[in-house]
Chains A and B, each alone.
Chain A
Amino acid sequence: MSVTSESELADVIRSAHGPLSVRGGNTRGMAGPGDALSVAGLSGISLYDPGALTLVAQAGTPLAEVEAALAAEGQRLAFEPMDHRSLLDTSGEPTIGGVFAANVSGPRRLSVGAARDFLLGVRFVDGAGRVVKNGGRVMKNVTGYDLVKLMAGSCGSLGVLTEVSLKVLPVPETSATLCLSGLDDRAAVAAMAHAMRSPFEITGAAHDPAERTTLLRLEGFETSVRYRLEQLRSLLALSGAEIGLLEADASEDAWQAQRDVTAFQQGEGDIWRLHCRPSQAPEIVARAEAKSHIYDWAGGLIWLRMSTGVDLRTRLGRYDGHATLVRASAETRQSLARQQPEPPAVARLTDGLRAQFDPRGILNGTLEEAA
């Protein structure tokens, strides 16, 4: 089943008798059980105002189409959404709605914010078939409750996005990446924290323990990037690392690999994504006993490859953060929840909201998060 208009979608949802498996490009993993319902037909950019840094598109618009339109004006989605296809071995066309439904953000989330921070407005159809609009297309808007944030990352469990309005940013003149070699986990996280405490506006900070390489990205005007590279070099000289430089193209390749976690594409095991306080990351990793791991967001995000079926959450116990099971065998899925179970008080609020927006429970778990 597929729809080509919002009103058609509302009709389908209203008359549904069982669970709906809603999908855009279906690239971010596991559309839930139920009758397949594609919203890819809700497609097209309806407004793009480069001078106001805003774009409005139907939720099913291919991400590539949005990115191409932005590139033509020297702008981009600053939050750098990950492409899940290589990690999850999916195919298909990622949609702009899917990006926001799963709140997918990449390495630059560290400095500019997450996908949800760039979502200015939404239209959606809730589980009762009601069409709802919230937010708008201006950057500052406190008119009523911010359901825009609530929809971002809700994975279709409260409603199906039909239109998104977003903030975009200019593509900087250039980018370059400092590459530190030889640091162990603790030294690398300390070096990243040191760099982040500087005024030099790092837009990516990642560490690959397998290669013992630490990446620090700078973006902006050419003269500014040169200046900050030199400042950072002297700032980090004490770390004892050998410091190299990746220029524009090499820098971009390195960050795309980081964004899409290509290092974990091949091979066995379950893939977890863990959010934590950056300074606690090395200690959390030590407790996890992972087969391999990668740091992003200066340590605030850890990708872990665990032995199949191991419950990372039980192994770690309490810490300030949460872990999501991103890739796992069907068998592991039987025993381990995708999302970190919520404390009872939070779960009651979550359940209450789901019951309000999807009273029949037909959208539950349909567009499950893979981010």
Chain B
Amino acid sequence: MEMPRPDATIIARKARVVSRLRAALPDATVIDDVHETRAYECDALTAYKCPPLAVTLPASTEEVSTILRICHEEGVPVVPRGSGTSLAGGALPTADSIVLGVSRMAEVLEVDYDDRLIRVQTGRTNLSVTGAVEEDGFFYAPDPSSQLACAIAGNIAMNSGGAHCLKYGVTTNNLLGVTIVLMNGEVVEIGGGYMDAGGLDLLGVICGSEGQLGVVTEATLRILPKPEGARPVLMGFDDNAVAGACVSDIIKAGVLPVAIEFMDRPCIEATEAFAHAGYPMCEALLIVEVEGSDAEIDHQLALITEIARRHNPVELRESTSAEESAAIWLGRKSAFGAMGQINDYMCLDGTIPVTELPMVLRRIGEMSEDYGLKVGNVFHAGDGNMHPLILFDANKPGDLEKCEAFGADILRLCVEAGGCLTGEHGVGIEKRDLMHEQYRPDDLEAQLAVKDVFDPAWLLNPAKVFPLDVTETRRGRSGPVAA
């Protein structure tokens, strides 16, 4: 993985840039001590690290605007950061960049149950958005697995999903409006407390733009009343293809489960050894969860188990209580930790059409043998979002590179199967150089054209998302405005 060579002329101007920021902002906002900036040298993709020139932690939209305006005038790249939980390196700095973290901006600005919305500052964590409304029976639907730590700013940047997307959609489907600060410092309001902002769908293109179009400081989010209850059923099959067919049949039967989770044998084995959830040893395990009143849940689970029985499951375990539900979810929720006990792992999130599941799993198994690296698969089967966990040894020379090559092959396979490189983690630096696999030059050019409009100088998170060769002529094309 290459990052562009930092601009030495910017690094040489560090003192000037920092003093301009200091002069315009409250004391605690700017951090340039080399020991302190190290805390911001990477995100959750820890294989890559680089301390930034400096870090800024603004407390308001106005301060964000000030920081961006100064960096724009100085021609300094800015790397926006939520909570730093990106698995794709979305918040990885370069040595010539200023990190702009929104973590100090975590206020709830408004809650309106009649209009079913909440307005927050985007440094607020995903789970604490739900936390602000759950006593009154509401929740915020997107639930990425890092929801305890991840910020709404990062959720918007990556268009984060979660396990319940089949029914509730991802971030973009739950976002009503934003306050966004452009690279030149301009503050723009888009959308609001109503459905469907008029004109071009700028909100739609901002969501998922990985911090390259602007810094979103406030967001209006849709909240929903909590369902009366939810309960899962667990089923085991002795063949991946049969489990895949069962998922298709459930979907075709008109049941809309809130989650369908899939685990393959390597993952089941690791999980059992770690969490002792009492899962059956089989080739494929499905956890299907439905919502509603007790009677509604019973009815849906009856339909689902009837379909499952037609596929000769080796195990069928319907939850009838909160304790049984927790037992069913226990293994799935500890899957990542279980794999982590065995070795270092890399987690991908390529997405495929659900119906291609058996073929893709077979091919991943073959590749696993070729590379000599073990892989376990956890999968949001309802929406085709795979999570292959490739095990490797970070201390063994060459293992990381081998793991990355294996990962790249899996993602190529996802694209070939009619899917995509990333379903919810984002491109970041991790999948940046694979973009050619999914998009032709004109397809990429159309995306670059959008950034040209929002950030003509290409200063916001410039070395991400797109292959470096494609963006080379755009990055660093403007020197400092005020010399």
Whether the pair B354, A51 counts as a contact (CB closer than 8 A) is yes
**Which residues 236-283 of A sit at the B interface, judged by CB distance below 8 A?**
275-279
- Hey, which chain A residues are within 8 Å of B401, CB to CB? none
**Which residues 151-208 of A sit at the B interface, judged by CB distance below 8 A?**
152-154, 157-158, 169-173, 190, 193, 196-199
Per-residue B-contact encoding for A310-337, CB less than 8 Å = 1, 0 else? 0000000000111010000000000000
Whether the pair A279, B351 counts as a contact (CB closer than 8 A) is no
Which of A74, A224, A322, A357 is within 8 Å of B198, CB to CB? A322
Whether the pair A142, B193 counts as a contact (CB closer than 8 A) is no
The answer to whether A130 has its CB under 8 Å from any CB of chain B is yes
A142-B422, A142-B423, A143-B427 given; A346·B190 CB < 8 A: yes
The answer to whether B208 has its CB under 8 Å from any CB of chain A is yes
- Interface size for chain A: under 10, 10 to 19, 20 to 34, or 35 or more residues? 35 or more
Whether the pair A339, B225 counts as a contact (CB closer than 8 A) is no
Per-residue B-contact encoding for A335-349, CB less than 8 Å = 1, 0 else? 000011011011001
Q: Which of B93-101, B365-373, B391-399, B440-448 lies at the binding interface?
A: B440-448
The minimal Cβ–Cβ distance linking B247 to chain A, given in whole angstroms, is 8
The answer to whether B295 has its CB under 8 Å from any CB of chain A is yes
How far apart are the CA atoms of A64 and B443 in the complex, in Å? 30
The answer to whether B248 has its CB under 8 Å from any CB of chain A is yes
Whether the pair B252, A51 counts as a contact (CB closer than 8 A) is yes
Per-residue B-contact encoding for A94-137, CB less than 8 Å = 1, 0 else? 00000000010100011001101100000000100011111011
- Hey, which chain A residues are within 8 Å of B227, CB to CB? 199
The minimal Cβ–Cβ distance linking B194 to chain A, given in whole angstroms, is 5
- Hey, which chain B residues are within 8 Å of A172, CB to CB? 254
The answer to whether A90 has its CB under 8 Å from any CB of chain B is no
Whether the pair B113, A197 counts as a contact (CB closer than 8 A) is yes
- Hey, which chain A residues are within 8 Å of B292, CB to CB? 224
Whether the pair A140, B442 counts as a contact (CB closer than 8 A) is no
Per-residue B-contact encoding for A33-67, CB less than 8 Å = 1, 0 else? 00000000000000001111110000000000000
Which of B186, B421, B438 is within 8 Å of A345, CB to CB? B186
- Hey, which chain B residues are within 8 Å of A134, CB to CB? 443, 446-447
Whether the pair B207, A146 counts as a contact (CB closer than 8 A) is yes
How far apart are the CA atoms of A141 and B415 in the complex, in Å? 11
How far apart are the CA atoms of A172 and B466 in the complex, in Å? 42
Q: Which residue of A lies closest to B300 (CB)?
A: A221
Whether the pair A131, B252 counts as a contact (CB closer than 8 A) is no
Whether the pair B202, A346 counts as a contact (CB closer than 8 A) is yes
A103-B196, A139-B165, A350-B200 given; A132·B207 CB < 8 A: no
The answer to whether B472 has its CB under 8 Å from any CB of chain A is no
The minimal Cβ–Cβ distance linking B195 to chain A, given in whole angstroms, is 5
- Hey, which chain A residues are within 8 Å of B384, CB to CB? 52, 138-140
- Hey, which chain B residues are within 8 Å of A105, CB to CB? 196
Of B195, B226, B253, which is in contact with the most chain A CB atoms at under 10 Å from its CB?
A: B195
- Hey, which chain B residues are within 8 Å of A190, CB to CB? 114
The answer to whether A28 has its CB under 8 Å from any CB of chain B is no
Which of A140, A147, A193, A322 is within 8 Å of B161, CB to CB? A140
A117-B173, A142-B158, A349-B453 given; A136·B355 CB < 8 A: no
Whether the pair A50, B252 counts as a contact (CB closer than 8 A) is yes
The answer to whether A8 has its CB under 8 Å from any CB of chain B is no
How far apart are the CA atoms of A227 and B300 in the complex, in Å? 14
How far apart are the CA atoms of A346 and B199 in the complex, in Å? 9
Which of A52, A279, A353 is within 8 Å of B112, CB to CB? A279
A141-B420, A199-B227, A279-B115 given; A356·B450 CB < 8 A: yes
Which of A171, A320, A356 is within 8 Å of B192, CB to CB? A320
Whether the pair A138, B425 counts as a contact (CB closer than 8 A) is no
A117-B173, A277-B193, A353-B453 given; A138·B353 CB < 8 A: yes
How far apart are the CA atoms of A103 and B201 in the complex, in Å? 10
How far apart are the CA atoms of A140 and B159 in the complex, in Å? 9
Whether the pair A137, B114 counts as a contact (CB closer than 8 A) is no
How far apart are the CA atoms of A226 and B434 in the complex, in Å? 51
A103-B196, A136-B418, A138-B384 given; A356·B449 CB < 8 A: yes
Which of B189, B251, B351 is within 8 Å of A140, CB to CB? B351
How far apart are the CA atoms of A169 and B385 in the complex, in Å? 18
The minimal Cβ–Cβ distance linking B358 to chain A, given in whole angstroms, is 12
- Hey, which chain B residues are within 8 Å of A130, CB to CB? 442, 445-446
How far apart are the CA atoms of A51 and B356 in the complex, in Å? 11
Per-residue A-contact encoding for B270-293, CB less than 8 Å = 1, 0 else? 000000000000000000000011
Whether the pair B201, A143 counts as a contact (CB closer than 8 A) is no
The answer to whether B7 has its CB under 8 Å from any CB of chain A is no
How far apart are the CA atoms of A296 and B225 in the complex, in Å? 20
Whether the pair B355, A49 counts as a contact (CB closer than 8 A) is yes
- Hey, which chain A residues are within 8 Å of B419, CB to CB? 136, 138
The answer to whether A234 has its CB under 8 Å from any CB of chain B is no
The answer to whether B21 has its CB under 8 Å from any CB of chain A is no
The minimal Cβ–Cβ distance linking A288 to chain B, given in whole angstroms, is 16
Whether the pair B192, A169 counts as a contact (CB closer than 8 A) is no
Whether the pair A275, B198 counts as a contact (CB closer than 8 A) is yes
Which of B251, B256, B426, B443 is within 8 Å of A132, CB to CB? B443
- Hey, which chain B residues are within 8 Å of A297, CB to CB? 195
- Hey, which chain B residues are within 8 Å of A279, CB to CB? 112, 114-115
- Hey, which chain A residues are within 8 Å of B114, CB to CB? 190, 193, 197, 278-279
Q: Which residue of B lies closest to A300 (CB)?
A: B195
- Hey, which chain A residues are within 8 Å of B203, CB to CB? 149
How far apart are the CA atoms of A279 and B114 in the complex, in Å? 6
Per-residue A-contact encoding for B223-256, CB less than 8 Å = 1, 0 else? 0011110000000000000000001110111111
The minimal Cβ–Cβ distance linking A161 to chain B, given in whole angstroms, is 14
Whether the pair A349, B296 counts as a contact (CB closer than 8 A) is no
How far apart are the CA atoms of A50 and B427 in the complex, in Å? 29
Per-residue A-contact encoding for B200-219, CB less than 8 Å = 1, 0 else? 11111101110000000000
- Hey, which chain B residues are within 8 Å of A145, CB to CB? 205, 208-209, 447, 450-451, 465
Per-residue A-contact encoding for B431-473, CB less than 8 Å = 1, 0 else? 1000100111011111101111110000000000110000000
- Hey, which chain A residues are within 8 Å of B452, CB to CB? 352, 356
The minimal Cβ–Cβ distance linking B23 to chain A, given in whole angstroms, is 26
Sample of 8 A–B contacts (CB below 8 Å): A126-B446, A133-B440, A138-B385, A144-B439, A148-B204, A150-B204, A277-B115, A279-B114
Which residues of B does A touch, CB under 8 Å? 112-116, 137, 158-159, 161, 165-166, 169-170, 172-173, 186-190, 192-205, 207-209, 225-228, 247-249, 251-256, 292-293, 295-296, 299-300, 351-355, 380, 383-385, 418-427, 431, 435, 438-440, 442-447, 449-454, 465-466
| Extra 16 A-B pairs, beta carbons < 8 Å, given A142-B423, A322-B197 | A51-B247, A52-B384, A114-B195, A137-B418, A139-B384, A140-B384, A143-B431, A145-B450, A146-B207, A149-B203, A158-B200, A196-B225, A275-B195, A276-B194, A279-B112, A342-B199
